Amino acid sequence: MLSTKVAVSALFLTTAAFLAPQTFSAFASETAKEQETLKFGPKVTSFELDNGLQVVVIPDRRAPVVTHMVWYKVGSADEPPGKSGIAHYLEHLMFKGTKTTKNGEFSAKVAEIGGQENAFTSTDYTGYFQRITPEVLEEMMRLEADRMENLVLTNEIILPERDVVQEERNARTENNPGSLLREAMSAALYQNHHYGIPIIGWEHEVNALDKDDAIAFYDKFYTPNNAILVVAGDVEPDRVKELAIKTYGKVKRRAEPGERMRPSEPPPRAARRLSMSDHRVRTPSFQRQYLVPSYRLAEKGEAEALEVLSEIFGGSTTSRMYRELVVKQKLASSAGGWYQGGSYDMTEFGVYGSPRNGKTLDDVEAAADAVIAELLKNGVTEKEVKRATKKLINSAIFSQDSQATLARIYGGSLAIGSTIEQIESWPQRIGAVTVDDVNKAARKFLKLKRSVTGHLLPGPRETAKEG
Amino acid sequence: MRFVSLFQFRLAVLNVMALAFLALTTSAVRAVDIQTIVSDKGIKALLVEDYTVPLIALSFSFKGGSTQDAKGYEGTAQLLTTMLDEGAGDIPSQKLQEILEDNGMSYSFNSGFDRFSGSIKTLKTSADEAFKLTALMINKPRFDAEPIERMKAAQFNRLKAQETNPQAIASKAWNEAVFQKHPYARPSQGTFETLKTLDGKALEDYRKRVFARDNLVVGVVGAINPDELKAVLDKVFGDLPEKAQLSPVPEATFESGEDIHIEFATPQTNIRVAMPGIKRDDPDFYTAYLVNYVLGGGSFSSRLYSEVREKRGLAYGVYSYLGTYDSAGIVGAGTATRNERTKQTLDVILAEIARMAKEGPTPEELEKAKKYIIGSYAIANLDTSSKIAGVLVAIQEANLGIDYIDKRADYIRAVTIEDAKRVAAKLLSAKPTVITVGQKGS
């Protein structure tokens, strides 16, 4: 096996938009975890252009490399009903040319200097980036600003791309029973919010998306006052400001998307259970997700407490879940938990486990329930809280080593409603979490009625498409 | 968290591709100030001092890898990557995990065909303790029965999952078809059979044979000066045996041309193509690298990308690569498409390979490839300490020389269009082996 970093880089060279849906949710949770950065890291500059574009500059002068990113505050959860997948499809189509730039021309400019590029879509934001040398930053800014308002689409170009998206869905979801179950679990967890709809879209709806859908979505949300520009790396803030005014500054305010009001969740009243079997499953697995608040929606200190709770409960091999289910009881081959705080609206606290050979899913679920029950009854310890907070804070220091990571932390956090001050104060807030905070959060949110539980089992081929 | 499995899923396919990529990344554009450090006990390391961020990244590798698994104990190196932090010296597994976590260091151990490698990243403030722990893990792992059983149980489940993962099925078939009776074809992840036999004795035997000083390379980047590093090198590696005891690995020979289909009921077919390639030390390596970039190595601009994805919408990802190993060179290509488009997609890929063999790249394509490959180095590899440490290790593994970073662009510029045509013809004219995993007909 090779290091993830190398293999992933190699992968991104050949697959456009690979960071797209699922991966991105993973990153959203890291985002929160790594926000420590600023306390130790570079001094960030921020300003706004007259057209409403927010600009953030993060200096990192160690190598002649710049990371240039534009984040739009729109994601799959902002899609109109019946048009699932349009946010992600549009992300693919943004590479197809403008009034003055031919299809593929922007990408060719990036490749010409050995740069990297990609784009991604989450439930809450859509991002585009290039990693380049400083001397071409201006040209990248010009081209990125150009496609903020001048996108041109023709059927000849966009129809094959819809097939590409379907192949992406095949690779990520249709070929993977675990992904199919996750889709079903999300649909059950969110009873009203569009988070219950997959980012990549339902297959039948994606098949019907057309040029007009893409342009309507583009015209509604792709506008400087709904975007954040992040430039990290070997460049002076003043230079970025000058270039930003010269390029993005010329883009007109194209729309007023207004406040993001999505359909919100009613109080959860019923525990939900799903079971899916598939001929491709060899090792069963158990998952549960509880509906919990994100950093943006949580009461003061609550999200930070959930973050620490997830570490203690299931974040590593010293966590309660791993020690109890894997080490002590020898029931599971893997077990843990997570919290994905980087979300605009409500979000999830997750629990998972997979039985060791010879043990059952029910054994694993019962043991996980016992770990949760014990935690709720007796609470966490001072020592556990200290260890978890230190670990979270350390992870933030490590993130300083990567300008790309810093750029994603800032862009991703700002795109879901954080402020720079909140990003900067994250380590202090994590450090302030007490035993009492963690216990309160656990008791408030780890209730079965807030959850959906999924079992993935070996079985006959019942998930095959019918017809 | 929950998407970690997605990455693993993808990594299973792209192992070989990543190797090719690593080989490439050992060439550079920017002058990096590299020092050669030799410790009192004679351990050599390449160092880039940098105090911008209060971190130290140390990477290392031992020549060895899965080829050194004893017969009947396939999967030893892989299991060892998971066992070094499961107890060492007087410290049992769970206690060690706590100490490592409290220290805040990040670490990973990996094994490929040819090498066992590791990466450590530590905050400067806790570096002494971090390197002490590293020394303990490398020199005195305990291999207690409980963690071994636990790691084997996890590996058992991974092997089970691979049985129905189309990409894993394709990778396994690929390895067997390409490497046949060569040690590379052995199951490096172990088998249900070898998982029964693997024990602490097998792990310690492997460690003693492979963890030595004469097959070790080290790269270090960050807030550490040469004297401090010398002490670290002696502490971590100084007590290892002087010489490794490696079983010789013969050169692999590969006669391509087979068609292998594995029927598997899933909507999307995985397609793999393999042909004999060249090794990293081949004089035509750079030329081959450029040719591959034009064919399917280049991001949004390769021929395969354009023909398979852009024009026809047949696939999300499509690639070709040079797989360069110590004892083999392979050209590979691959993609995935809905079952009913398998033949069409494969025809397009094979036609592009044949066209490249016949015509080579155009002069414009070659120029663009050169620009990309020269320029991409700093952008892809010099922006984090860990990546630079990885480069320092790769430079030594491939024996490229400490001045290689400065010379690399010249090697690439020197490639002519005639070279490119000759190498394209040489490299891509064999009948490829084709592997498909999916559902035929329907």
pLDDT the model gives residue A280: 94
- Which residues, in sequence order, are bridge partners of residue A151? A98
Contact call for B112 and A160, based on CB within 8 A: no
Mean pLDDT of A153-171: 96
Confirm or reject CATH 3.30.830.10 for domain B259-438, answering yes or no. yes
Q: Is the pLDDT of residue A35 over 80?
A: no
Nearest to A1 among B50, B111, B314 (CB): B111
Q: Is the pLDDT of residue B183 over 70?
A: yes
Element (H, E) at B97: helix B93-103
A399 confidence band (pLDDT: 50, 70, 90): confident
Task: Parse chain B into domains and list their residue ranges.
Answer: 2-237, 259-438
Q: Is the pLDDT of residue A43 over 80?
A: yes
**What proportion of chain B, given as a percentage, has pLDDT over 90?**
87
What span, in angstroms and rounded, lies between the C-alpha atoms of B255 and B432?
9
Contact call for A2 and B265, based on CB within 8 A: no
Q: Is B403 exposed, middle or buried (0-12, 13-18, 19+ CB in 10 A)?
A: exposed
Q: What is the pTM of this model?
A: 0.90
pLDDT the model gives residue A460: 81
Lowest-pLDDT range, A210-224, B8-22, B234-248, B306-320? B8-22
Cβ atoms A98, A153 nearer than 8 A: no
Cβ atoms A352, A333 nearer than 8 A: no
Contact call for B371 and A23, based on CB within 8 A: no
Q: Is the pLDDT of residue B8 over 50?
A: no
Q: What angle do CA B181, B15, A173 make, to 5 degrees?
A: 115
pLDDT the model gives residue B19: 28
Set of chain B residues whose Cβ sits within 8 Å of the Cβ of A334 = 154, 157
Nearest to B383 among A95, A175, A403 (CB): A403
pLDDT the model gives residue B404: 87
What span, in angstroms and rounded, lies between the C-alpha atoms of A29 and A339?
7
pLDDT the model gives residue A465: 54
**Average pLDDT value over all residues in chain A:** 90
Query: What is the complex's ipTM, to 2 decimals?
Result: 0.89
Nearest to A354 among B30, B149, B157 (CB): B157
Cβ atoms A385, A434 nearer than 8 A: yes
Q: Is the pLDDT of residue B59 over 50?
A: yes
Q: Which of A13, A139, A381, A389 to mutate to test the interface with B (most CBs of B within 10 A)?
A: A13
Mean pLDDT of B55-82: 97
Q: Is the pLDDT of residue A22 over 60?
A: no
Give the residue with greater pLDDT, A324 vs B440. A324
* Whether A95 contacts chain B with CB within 8 A: yes
pLDDT the model gives residue A424: 87
**Amino acid at site B340:** E
Summarize pLDDT for A123-157 with one digit per residue, the tens: 999 999 999 999 999 999 999 999 999 999 999 99
What span, in angstroms and rounded, lies between the C-alpha atoms of A237 and A46?
9
Lowest-pLDDT range, A322-326, B9-13, B291-295? B9-13
Set of chain B residues whose Cβ sits within 8 Å of the Cβ of A452 = none
Element (H, E) at B260: strand B259-263
pLDDT the model gives residue A16: 27
Cβ atoms A12, A118 nearer than 8 A: yes
pLDDT the model gives residue A462: 55
Cβ atoms A235, A137 nearer than 8 A: yes
Nearest CA in chain B to A405: B384
pLDDT the model gives residue A8: 25
Hey, do B2-237 and B259-438 end up sharing a CATH topology, with the first three levels equal?
A: yes
Distances (CA, A) of B199 to A428, B84, B106, B350: 46, 14, 26, 45
Q: Is the pLDDT of residue A33 over 90?
A: no
pLDDT the model gives residue A398: 87
**Amino acid at site B177:** A
Cβ contacts below 8 Å, chain A against chain B, sum to 286
Nearest to B153 among A25, A350, A356 (CB): A356
What span, in angstroms and rounded, lies between the C-alpha atoms of A414 and A125?
10
What span, in angstroms and rounded, lies between the C-alpha atoms of A151 and A89?
14
Set of chain B residues whose Cβ sits within 8 Å of the Cβ of A10 = 14, 17-18, 20-21, 321
Contact call for A390 and B373, based on CB within 8 A: no
Give the CA-trace dihedral at A241, A246, A248, A249, to 10 degrees. 90
* Whether A435 contacts chain B with CB within 8 A: no
A307 confidence band (pLDDT: 50, 70, 90): very high
**Half-sphere exposure at residue B426, Cβ-oriented, CA atoms within 13 angstroms:** 14
Summarize pLDDT for B129-180 with one digit per residue, the tens: 999 999 999 999 999 999 999 999 999 999 999 999 999 999 999 999 999 9
Q: Is B345 exposed, middle or buried (0-12, 13-18, 19+ CB in 10 A)?
A: buried
pLDDT the model gives residue B405: 82
Nearest to A7 among B14, B53, B146 (CB): B14
Q: Annotate A158-170 with DSSP letters as a single string.
A: HHHHHHHHHHHHI
Mean pLDDT of A375-390: 97
B441 confidence band (pLDDT: 50, 70, 90): low
Tokens 């007087």 locate to B90
**Amino acid at site A251:** V
**Average pLDDT value over all residues in chain B:** 91
Cβ atoms B55, B222 nearer than 8 A: yes
Strand order in the sheet with B44-49: B35-38, B44-49, B216-222, B55-63, B115-123, B106-111
Q: Which residues of A are part of the catalytic machinery? A: 91
Mean pLDDT of B20-25: 30
What span, in angstroms and rounded, lies between the C-alpha atoms of B404 and B402?
5
Q: Is the pLDDT of residue A377 over 60?
A: yes
pLDDT the model gives residue A255: 98
Summarize pLDDT for A228-287 with one digit per residue, the tens: 999 999 999 999 999 999 999 999 999 999 999 999 999 999 999 999 999 999 999 999
What span, in angstroms and rounded, lies between the C-alpha atoms of A455 and A368?
13
Fold of B2-237: Cytochrome Bc1 Complex; Chain A, domain 1 (3.30.830)
Strands B55-63 and A54-59: unpaired
Q: Is the pLDDT of residue A42 over 90?
A: no
Summarize pLDDT for B363-372 with one digit per residue, the tens: 999 999 999 9
Set of chain A residues whose Cβ sits within 8 Å of the Cβ of B9 = 176
Set of chain B residues whose Cβ sits within 8 Å of the Cβ of A8 = 7, 10-11
**Which residues 268-307 of chain A have a CB within 8 Å of chain B?**
279-283, 287
The closest of A246, A255, A260 to A224, measured between CA atoms, is: A255
Mean pLDDT of A414-419: 95
